[in-house]
Amino acid sequence: MIASQDEYLIANSEAQKFEQALATVRRRGPSAGVHPGVHEAMIESLESELLILGERLARYQARPRD
Range of the domain at 23: 5-62
Other Cβ atoms closer than 10 A to 22: 17
Distance CA 45, CA 51 (A): 10
pLDDT at position 28: 94
pLDDT at position 65: 83
Average pLDDT by consecutive 10-residue portion of the chain (66 residues)?
96 96 94 94 95 96 87
DSSP 8-class letter at 4: S
Domains held by the chain: number: 1
pLDDT at position 61: 95
pLDDT at position 33: 94
pLDDT at position 38: 95
Cβ–Cβ < 8 Å for 39, 29: yes
Closest by CA to 10, choosing from 55, 53, 61, is 53
Distance CA 33, CA 39 (A): 10
Distance CA 28, CA 63 (A): 38
Q: Is pTM, for the whole model, over 0.95? A: no
